[in-house]
Structure 1
Amino acid sequence: MPRFLHTADWQIGRAFTRFAPESAVLLAEARLAAVERLAALARDEQVDAVLVAGDVFDAQILSERTLRRLFLALQGFAGPWVLLPGNHDAALAQGVWQQAQQLGIVPAHVHLALRPEPIALPSAGLVVLPAPLTQRHTVHDLTAWFDHTPTPAGWVRVGLAHGCVSGFLPESIDAPNPIAADRAQRANLAYLALGDWHGCKCINERTWYSGTPEPDRFRANEAGWALRVDVSHHAPPEVHRLPVGQHRWWQHQVTLNVPSDLDAVLAWLHDRQADDVIDLRLNGRLDLQGRARLQTALGETQARVRHLESTLDGLSLAPTDDELSALHADGYVGELLAELRDAALTPPASPVPAQALALLTETLMRHHPSPSSSPVNTP
């Protein structure tokens, strides 16, 4: 029974421009490291081939160094690799695939599926039917030719494509490069290996998205896996998810209304690990002591994890009466503090009173520090 590894959406060369340079470089490096882990996984799982369902590269113009590093990473598995162009690295007349070929860096055991024609893998007993993209978007189902293409008797037919199976992905997802949901059945495929959706997803027993092996976005869509697939002519394939990803991406949104809400956020931050990438969004209100605790926790977490971005625009400062008294703001300044606090907490919320309140309290706290405004250790 042939066995292969199904993976996709490596997007080597991705720049991660939304992050600070030190984080962006490490996240880009993690994608190459994931390929090295895939090669080791293919060797350890004793697969007959590795099928990559598109978007090997993130762009059509990459440095020679990046291309060479990618093909060097494939050396960890000596069996056949089949690399399919996707929408990010379509098989253009002049593009990243032609650059790799011109450099002469594509190893002999790596098959570039640049044309819609069968690729025979005798050592694996497989015939791969690829549907390479030759432009970023198409309105036609490029897998249609699978249905009428004969293959030698006794060989297992496997499809390889990159696109969108309509009706199975979230409605908000754009749907270029359509793929028929029943293509595996219509084309008599033992398995259809798909790429483009970055999460691991089963369409039907013979059709799967593997997802990207290294998570690269905050959407919780089951990224970070490769699929080990055992296929035969008649029985359904046996599909096993194997962990590959290094980083975990968290998007955490919380509204703070009571002190226990802040305690829960601080405990959550305390549990994050070095390889975590975090998008934290907070709304609600905090008193001065709570804000000091939060700022301390954010600083400590940012130093510990791979990346932390926090959005606090929806968080209003709501000093208690005792905290306002401790600022020793008498007369007009005291009245202004109270007015700003009330305005910041009165719907509809406006950022201006909240910002003014924060600036004024910070100035007063520098002149009149008090125990209530001192940072408190996080859990």
Structure 2
Amino acid sequence: MIDTLAKAAQSNDAKVVLVAGDVFDSPEPGDRVYRQALTRMKAAERVKWVLLPGNHDPARSDGLWSRLKNDAPENLLTALEPTPFEVLDGLWVLPAPLLYKRTIDDPTTWFDSGETPERAFRIGLAHGPVVEFSSTQTANNLIAVDRAKTAKLSYLALGDWHGRRQIDAYTHYCGTPEPDDFGREVTGMALLVDVSQKEAPDVVEIPTGRYFWRSETWDLRSGADLLRELNGFAPEVDRRNLVARLKLSGLVSLSDRAEVRNVLENEFAHEIRWLDLQAGDLFVRPTDDDMADIDLNGVLREVAERLSSMAAADGMVGRRAASALERLYIEQQKLQRRGVSE
């Protein structure tokens, strides 16, 4: 992702990349992740990186950020103090670094009194929720919704919210540059911001995400239903970059359920990046043909009929019986195919 952001910045003639917290997922990312991040940022020498500690990687004393400050290449700035600094000629950053994962104070309060040259562009950089969409007024790291106005900011870059969101013309959440979960709002982008205008900043969304997360619930009555759903599932997405969650429901025959799982687990799952298959609500109603495929008249037929009866029950007993019946069917099919091949 660092390479992608650097490429986006360079292709749009952006001199600075601001990262509004959570540069790493934890305050101890490990040497491999740490070194790779530094190496990639250093390689993008035409870009100046400004990194802010967030709630996932707060600036603990003698920790990650002390090390990062000492190891930082010339094109990397660590925003570790609540003090304005000039990042480009006339462009000043007012950072609100988090020293702890949680704080009850607004980390941007000092922006109002932060002094910069008279005609400087004042860029706020912070990490936390704003009053407008926080579920409680006592949320951690809560930021005043009108901070850009009270601090006379040219722009306020915020992190913490994983989806893209505009609070006002001067205040924006970019969201994560790579989608990271199902059900997110618009995400997977960087924001190209031009503050040189006298009016509000010009903000353009630049796509940066590689993976597409899709979650759907399919109600199936046959194997044909599955094929229809698969054919219409995210056709615009390269399947190699698709992360899918499929929740299956419905009532199908044993043979259809076995086919559904075979297609999804042994074919579709290998075509995409990752599959979360939830088939607990796809119930089985065995047909006479299903039972005959297990055993026409023998002991296994009796077992299958008993499991079928138990599978109709509610709760864990029914689910376990249905699972056992499906397994019995599949194993019998394997034995039959093996016998034919021999």
Using the size of structure 2 for normalisation, the TM-score is 0.87
Greater RCO, CA 8 A, separation 6+:
1
Structure 2 counterpart of 1:227, which letter?
L
How far the C-alpha of 1:113 sits from its partner, in A, is 0.4
**Unmatched 5+ residue regions in structure 1?**
1-33, 370-379
Q: In the alignment, which residue of structure 1 is the partner of 2:105?
A: 140
Using the size of structure 1 for normalisation, the TM-score is 0.79
CA distance in 2: counterparts of 1:270 and 1:222, whole angstroms: 16
How far the C-alpha of 1:205 sits from its partner, in A, is 1.6
Paired residues of 2:308 and 2:325 also in contact (CA < 8 A): yes
Deviations 1:87-112 (A, max 9, x none): 1111110211112234xx31122211
Q: Which residues in structure 2 correspond to 1:35-50 (within 5 Å)?
A: 35-50=2-17
CA distance in 1: counterparts of 2:129 and 2:91, whole angstroms: 24
SS class of match (2:167): strand
Q: Which residues in structure 2 correspond to 1:11-90 (within 5 Å)?
A: 34-74=1-41, 75-90=43-58
Q: In the alignment, which residue of structure 2 is the partner of 1:211?
A: 175
Worse-superposed segment, 110-119 or 91-100: 91-100
How far the C-alpha of 1:268 sits from its partner, in A, is 4.8
Paired residues of 2:294 and 2:300 also in contact (CA < 8 A): no
CA distance in 1: counterparts of 2:22 and 2:334, whole angstroms: 53
CA distance in 1: counterparts of 2:243 and 2:254, whole angstroms: 28
How far the C-alpha of 1:339 sits from its partner, in A, is 4.5
Q: In the alignment, which residue of structure 2 is the partner of 1:118?
A: 84
How far the C-alpha of 1:354 sits from its partner, in A, is 0.8
SS class of match (2:192): strand
Structure 2 counterpart of 1:184, which letter?
A
C-alpha spacing 1:360/1:55, structure 2 compared with 1 (3 Å): same
Deviations 1:301-321 (A, max 9, x none): 222222223222232222223
Q: In the alignment, which residue of structure 2 is the partner of 1:376?
A: none
CA distance in 2: counterparts of 1:256 and 1:244, whole angstroms: 35
Counterpart pick for 2:327 among 359, 369, 377 = 359
Worse-superposed segment, 139-148 or 338-347: 338-347
Residue-pair matches, total: 332
Q: In the alignment, which residue of structure 1 is the partner of 2:285?
A: 318
Q: Which residues in structure 2 correspond to 1:96-107 (within 5 Å)?
A: 96-102=64-70, 105-107=71-73
CA distance in 2: counterparts of 1:329 and 1:221, whole angstroms: 53
Structure 2 counterpart of 1:38, which letter?
L
Q: Which residues in structure 2 correspond to 1:82-231 (within 5 Å)?
A: 82-102=50-70, 105-123=71-89, 125-168=90-133, 171=135, 175-231=139-195
Counterpart pick for 2:308 among 325, 338, 341 = 341
Correspondence 1:288 to 2:268: no
Deviations 1:106-129 (A, max 9, x none): 112221100100011233x31111
Query: Cα RMSD between the aligned structures?
Result: 2.6
Structure 2 counterpart of 1:37, which letter?
T
Paired residues of 1:270 and 1:301 also in contact (CA < 8 A): no
